[in-house]
Amino acid sequence: MRAITLQALLAAGSMLAGASVLAAGSVQVSYVQPEKFADIGMSPRDRDDTLQQLTKHFESLASRHLADGQKLNVEVLDVDLAGTIQPSARVGDGLRVFRDSGDWPRIDLRYTLETAGRPTRSGEQKLSDMNYARNLRGPGAGQPLPAEKRMLEEWFGTQFGPAAAK
């Protein structure tokens, strides 16, 4: 077995740290009157979890799609999660049931992309995925908010991915 010196570990760590700093832009997400959102869960805990999951997903997308020096400001104006809550005696707040009939996910947002501190693009978007039920078994299906996350990935890739830069 080969011995690794402390100096080699420090050098490798600093290279990795430098690479992650140079690799991506950032995102700032705010929620405008979330208490009025169409559907982000029944209980206060569900609502907090939903907003945390969405924020983490925006951060993940920004780290993959935005260039160094870019900052995306997102104001989420409304959220309507996929499916509907059905009352259940066994589950306190009920179960979320997914059907292919008018209960698709929807997220309304406003955004501004800044490069080097200057606004370069902005807009308001109404995202929705009427075909979400067909993809519930795809990648990420076992994770929280699979339909919403897939919808945001598609939007992010279209707006800020390599094809958008051309």
Average pLDDT over residues 44-62: 95
Instruction: Give the whole-angstrom CA distance, residue 76 versus residue 32.
Output: 6
> Taking Cα atoms as reference points, which of 92, 87, 85 lies closest to residue 38?
85
pLDDT at 88: 59
Q: Decide if pLDDT at 3 tops 60.
A: no
- Residue-wise pLDDT for 80-97, tens only, equals 998 766 665 555 555 555
Give the E-state strand segments of the chain in sequence order.
26-31, 70-80, 84-86, 95-97, 106-115, 118-128
What local confidence, expressed as pLDDT, does residue 115 receive? Answer: 92
Residue 163 CA to residue 3 CA, distance in Å, equals 45
Note the pTM of the prediction, 2 decimals: 0.75
pLDDT classification of 5: cutoffs 50, 70, 90:
very low
